[in-house]
Structure 1
Amino acid sequence: MTEPIQDDGTSRKAAGKQGDSSSRRPFGDAFRAFMREGWAEHDVEATALPSSRHTPDRWRAIGREFPGERLVFPAGAHKQRSNDLDYAFRPNTSFAYLTGLGKDYDPDAVLVLEPLSADDPNAASGQTHRPVLYMHQPADHTTQDFYMSAEYGEYWIGPRPGLQEFSAMTGIETRDLGQFADAVAKNVGPGEGAVRVRVIREADPKATAVVDAARKAGGFPDPDLNAQDDAALHTACAEARIVKDDYEIGQMKKAIRATYNGFNKVLQHLDEAVGKPRGERVIEGLFNANARVEGNAVGYDTIVASGDHAPRLHWMRNTGTPHKGDLLLMDAGVEVDDLYTADITRTFPLSGRFTPVQRRVYDAVFEAQQAAFDACRPGVPFSVIHDTVMRVTAENLHRLGILPVSVQEALSPEGQQHRRWLVCGVGHHLGLDCHDCAQARNEEYFDRDLEPGMIFTIEPGLYFQSDDLLIPPEYRGIGVRIEDDVLMTAEGPQWLSGYIPRTADDVEQWMAQMMRH
């Protein structure tokens, strides 16, 4: 990894060292002038993003929740990984949702929903806000940042759209980021004709500091009240995403297809991992490479858990050696370029066929998943997924001879003994975030009735850890999860991932087919 130039002529990595001539960089006037000469102009594509047909409905809906207020949505900033190295940039979810910008060329950008005055012509049609994007000008060869800034300079990161191009892409007026501070502070105050300001404060500390300074100067100095205002905006954005539009549904289908292709890639090369030290990481690498080819990246750290690791709910070290005869639990999802992610789990028998004990556990989990799917329909609360999975799981644990009490006692609030083997949640909303809409209120999440356009997971499991002395020895070390992505329609639930084999027989046939290739 190369090192950026610092103003003093040394790299950040070498800062503080003395006498290290190898870290010196050219920095004289002649070099500055030379670096700006002889570069061809770049044509940067600037066609309207497909998402731009849908984002106006999104920001208008948010605006109606906060009429007369200035709403600030930062994209976020680079986050340091170590020393002078940053993590790959991913814009804040609310920013991406409202602008359609999912790529990595907009760090520090801010979307502002500016309240319309009563005499604005657009107010008569019911609009409450006008969107404005604030972004960096390109650091092209006419600027010193061109070669000085490893974060923004086009010498380092390649050509980037300009303000006009971003406006054409998003359909949103775009201004230089340097104007943001003055714009956000304009007319802030509690009086008539003044405005309140809210911000997604977790997104970018620098942007939030600008908003906080404007509020303090305008008569809103109480940090606790300001934080409450900001939390309400964050909640409103999360709740707005619970029902997906047609574009989002299409992106989710694309993410699920890419995830299926990743599972196929793993199965085709499974022999390269079985019996190999750190074979779990071989599997992780196969899936993650496919995610980078077909999408932006993985939507979350891939879980590859074989043998005793399978009952560990968030096993992410992926350092184990998969062995024939073990189960392999793989929880993975591809995030597409617009940042929508799938979330799929499959449990594979590494010998190619389930043993009788493994199949009993697998079938119990499958039964719980199918029962929860069948219970879903428009008008019933989202919590039906949890309630159904828990009931069927308790019944199956009783049938397997594992539950130490009656099903009735286990399902009582004072009991819950079955949760020893299913302590996690069994379904969540899915979209731009793997655990999407997490800031929504309970009444708008778990207790909200299912309705067309919702996308969610159903993911029951049974996790029998190898050191659990309360279960028969033959079950110890077995972990099974089956997770699929579901779209609610007016006619009922639809498996978005229904073409990915789910039953024990179909999984065995899938493995046999893929491993022949």
Structure 2
Amino acid sequence: MVSTAEKSTLSEPGGDSTPVTPEEQPLSARNENRSQRPDSEAFKAFMSSSWARKSTELPAESEVAPHAAKRRRAVSEKFPGERLVIPAGPLKVRSNDTDYRFRPHSGFAHLTGLGLDHEPEAVLVMEPTEQGQGDDGGNHRATLYFRELAGRDSAEFYANARYGEFWIGARLSMAEIKALLALETTDISELELAVTKDAGVVEVGGLRIRLLRDVDPNADALVDTSRINTGVDLEASDDLDAQLAEALSELRLIKDEWEIEQMRIAVAATVNGFHEVVKALPRALSHPRGERVVEAAFFARAREEGNDLGYDTIAASGNNATVLHWIRNSGQVDAGDLLLLDAGVEADSLYTADITRTLPVTGEYSDIQRKIYQAVLDAADAGFAAAQPGRKFREVHLAAITVLAERLNDWGLLPAPLDEVLSPEGQHHRRWMPHGTSHHLGMDVHDCAQAKRELYLDGTLTEGMVFTIEPGLYFKEEDLAVPEEYRGIGVRIEDDILMTADGPVNLSAALPREASDVEAWMAGIHSPTGE
């Protein structure tokens, strides 16, 4: 594989210039040693010539543009008179001179409408205006600062493996992004002035800056240096920055119609991924790392239909299903096992699904597996019934966990009476279900995580919310508090729920949930006709 971090046009071994000795070559340049790129003037001139002219036709405005503008307007109303700095984030090195695929911070993507890998190191700056004089009658004018790819007449075109078009392909130009998103754009070279101009202590006429922190170290350094130079209290500023992160997270609690459609797209692709996994189970059974076969089958569908995985797939067979975040996926898949598959496709818009099914790998549940599975399904149904407009988010968990406690009590597994177990002083049942039943879902698999407790856990279920319902029971092989027949069984059932004015809608209902329906679905996939 060629490098993705070549950054200079220094003479190299194999070029026409005299090679430098290792003692003379800077450490930072040594990744270039294997490139052997010519450095002659003839090469440079030829590389910069005879390229077809790019089209000057601009794209039509994206469907997301008006929705992103409304989101910026909502943030503008919350922070009048303050400069808001929202970075996309930089590229991140995976190993030596290769980068991970870029994904922007969700707060940035939500406010701009940009997904995929268009804008590493970009920064959205919302500049305060007189009240009501900003974009769409708001209190700010928004500008996107980013690094446009160099022209084909520039050495960077072919010499810079991180940003050169020859290496990474074309990206949208400033004019194209402006047309696509109806958002003012300018070059990243102007960012420093835009961020620091007139900044300072508000009490003496300075302008307050709020930064979406810990996203881009360069943006953090730029804002912090400005604060130090102008005498702004850094500790107090940290609190202001935290309030911005909180506001951006809370803004995503209620999805607009465009976001809901993206969630449906992500869920549909995820359902297709589960079909691919069932097809791959015979091969998984014959492979020493069958969980990797499962993981790969789902990943292929995620890349075909979406941008990527929404999170690392949990493909947990047998006792591994009792490990809540089992992502090593290095185990065998054995006949008689249950496979707990927790997976989600991230759409190109960066919205992700999050679905779990627990499948009998050979197509039929055993009696004990079916009993445990049914208890978890009953808990999920109780949570769904509790998820009604106007009720508290926490009530979904309470309804589901109560059903599980009742089943555990019926099976004689609880060490105390049920009323004592369910009291705050008890909670013995949580040994086998230690996680929460629900979380918000959207651009992040655990979306809106910085929202205030009173709006999240203690929040009211409201039209436009999207969240999961995912109860489970996990009986580890080494758990001596349960009979042997329970040990090594982990079951979780998770669906993605849209709250409407009329009640909850299961977006992932296309995937069977009833044990008998799961068995029939799997049998149909493996039938000669695949129907």
RMSD value, Cα: 1.9
Q: Is the 8 A contact 2:315 2:326 kept in 1?
A: yes
SS at match of 2:491: strand
Structure 2 vs 1, CA of residues 351 and 183 (structure 1 numbering), >3 Å: closer, same or farther? same
Answer yes or no: is 1:167 the counterpart of 2:169.
no
Q: CA deviation at 1:223?
A: 2.1
Q: Which deviations, in whole Å up to 9, do the C-alpha atoms of 1:380-400 show, x marking residues without a partner?
A: 110011211221111111112
* Counterparts of 1:293 and 1:21, CA distance in 2: 35
What does residue 75 of structure 1 align with? 88
Q: Where does residue 388 of structure 2 map in the other structure? A: 377
Q: 1:67-146 alignment to 2 at 5 Å?
A: 67-118=80-131, 121-122=133-134, 126-146=137-157
CA contact (8 A) 2:148 2:173 kept: yes
Paired residue type of 1:507: V
Relative to structure 1, is the Cα distance of residues 267 and 69 closer, same or farther in structure 2, using a 3 angstrom cutoff? same
Change (3 A) 1:113 1:358: same
Structure 1 contact 299–342 (Cα < 8 Å) conserved: yes
Query: In percent, how many aligned pairs have the same letter?
Result: 49
Determine if contact 2:90/2:120 at 8 Å carries over to the other structure.
Answer: yes
Distance 2:470 2:449 in 1: 17
- What is the distance in 1 between the residues matched to 2:237 and 2:61? 36
CA contact (8 A) 2:133 2:140 kept: no
Q: Report the CA distance shift for 1:65/1:502 in structure 2 as closer, same or farther (over 3 A).
A: same
2:68 touches 2:113 (CA, 8 Å); kept in 1?
yes
- Partners of 1:283 and 1:24 lie apart in 2 by 41
Q: CA deviation at 1:202?
A: 1.2
CA contact (8 A) 1:295 1:337 kept: yes
Letter matched to residue 37 of structure 2: R
Q: Confirm whether residue 267 of structure 1 aligns to residue 278 of structure 2.
A: yes
Q: How do 1:4-23 residues align onto structure 2 when only pairs under 5 Å count?
A: 4=6, 6-10=8-12, 16=27
Partner of 1:38: 50
Aligned counterpart in structure 1 of residue 428 of structure 2, from 410, 417, 425: 417
d(CA) in 1 for partners of 2:222 and 2:26? 29
CA distance in 1, matches of 2:193, 2:249: 28
CA offsets per residue over residues 436-461 of structure 1, 9 Å max, x none?
00011111110010000000000000
Equivalent in the alignment of 1:237: 248
| TM-superposed deviation, 1:117 | 2.1
Report the AA paired with residue 347 of structure 1. Answer: T
**Structure 1 residue 368 displacement after superposition:** 0.4
Give 2:489's aligned amino acid. I
**Aligned partner letter, 1:407:** L
Distance in 2, Cα, partners of 1:213 & 1:407: 58
Distance between the aligned counterparts of 2:434 and 2:78, measured in 1?
36
What is residue 304 of structure 1 aligned with on the other side?
315
Tell me whether 1:386 sits opposite 2:397 in the alignment. yes
Q: 1:209 and 2:221 equivalent?
A: yes
| 8 A Cα contact 1:460 1:483, kept in partner | yes
3-state DSSP class of the match of 1:198?
A: strand
AA at the equivalent of 2:415: P
1:492 and 2:503 aligned:
yes
Q: Distance in 2 between matches of 1:469 and 1:138?
A: 61
Deviations 1:50-105 (A, max 9, x none): 11020111011011111100001101000011110111100011000000000202
Does structure 1 conserve the Cα–Cα contact (< 8 Å) formed by 2:227 and 2:234? no
Alignment check: 8 A CA contact 2:133 2:139 kept: no
Q: Which moved more, 1:46-55 or 1:80-89?
A: 46-55
Q: In structure 1, what is the Cα distance between the partners aligned to 2:12 and 2:453?
A: 52
Alignment of 1:143-154 (within 5 A): 143-154=154-165
Per-residue deviation, 1:191:
4.2
Query: Under a length normalisation based on structure 2, what TM-score does the superposition of the two structures give?
Result: 0.93
Q: For residues 299 and 93 of structure 1, do their structure 2 counterparts lie closer, same or farther at Cα, with a shift above 3 Å needed?
A: same
Cα distance in 1 for residues equivalent to 2:280 and 2:41: 55
TM-score (norm 1): 0.95
Q: Rate the CA distance shift 1:154–1:126 in 2: closer, same or farther, 3 A.
A: closer
State the Cα distance separating 1:416 from its structure 2 match: 1.0
Paired position in structure 1 for 2:524:
513
Alignment of 1:285-364 (within 5 A): 285-364=296-375
- Compute the displacement of 1:34 (Å): 2.3
Question: In the aligned structure 1, how far is the partner of 2:185 from the partner of 2:33?
Answer: 44
2:68 corresponds to which residue?
A: 55
CA distance in 1, matches of 2:388, 2:92: 42
**Retained in 2: the 8 A contact 1:461–1:481?**
yes
Q: Matched residue of 2:263: which SS? A: helix
Whole-Å separation in 1 of the counterparts to 2:311 and 2:133: 44
2-structure distance, mates of 1:341, 1:259: 9
Aligned amino acid, residue 43 of structure 1: S
Structure 1's 199 and 5: CA in aligned 2 closer, same or farther, altered over 3 A?
closer
Q: 1:274-325: per-residue Cα shift (whole Å, max 9, x none)?
A: 1321011011101000000000001000010011111111111111111111
Question: Does 2:279 correspond to 1:277?
Answer: no
Report the CA distance between 1:378 and its aligned residue: 1.0
Q: How does 1:462-481 map to 2 (within 5 A)?
A: 462-481=473-492
Distance 2:34 2:191 in 1: 40
| SS, match of residue 64 in structure 2 | helix
Quote the Cα distance in structure 1 between the aligned partners of 2:80 and 2:178: 24
| 1:490 to 1:354, Cα distance in 2 relative to 1, 3 A | same
Change (3 A) 1:21 1:246: closer
**Contact persistence 1:390–1:411 (CA under 8 A):** no
Residue 365 in structure 1 maps to residue 358 in structure 2: no
Question: Could you list the per-position Cα deviations for residues 118-146 of structure 1 after superposition, in whole angstroms to 9, with x for gaps in the alignment?
Answer: 5x7458x7511111111112223122211
Moved more, 399-408 or 419-428: 399-408
Query: Aligned partners of 1:23, 1:430: CA distance in 2, in Å?
Result: 44
Q: Secondary structure at the match of 1:442?
A: coil
Paired residue secondary structure (1:231): helix
How far apart, CA to CA, are the structure 1 residues paired with 2:184 and 2:419?
Answer: 60
Aligned to 2:19: none
Determine the C-alpha separation between the residues in 2 that align with 1:23 and 1:250: 45
Where does residue 20 of structure 2 map in the other structure?
A: none
Gaps of 5+ in 1: none
Q: Supply the AA of the counterpart residue of 2:435.
A: C
Q: Give the Cα separation in 2 of the matches to 1:207 and 1:261.
A: 40
- Distance in 2 (CA, whole Å) between partners of 1:106 and 1:70 is 21
* Counterpart residue type for residue 65 of structure 1: K
1:27 aligns with 2:39: yes
Q: Structure 1 residues 22 and 52, CA, compared in 2 at 3 Å: closer, same or farther?
A: closer
Q: Which residue of 2 aligns with 1:228?
A: 239
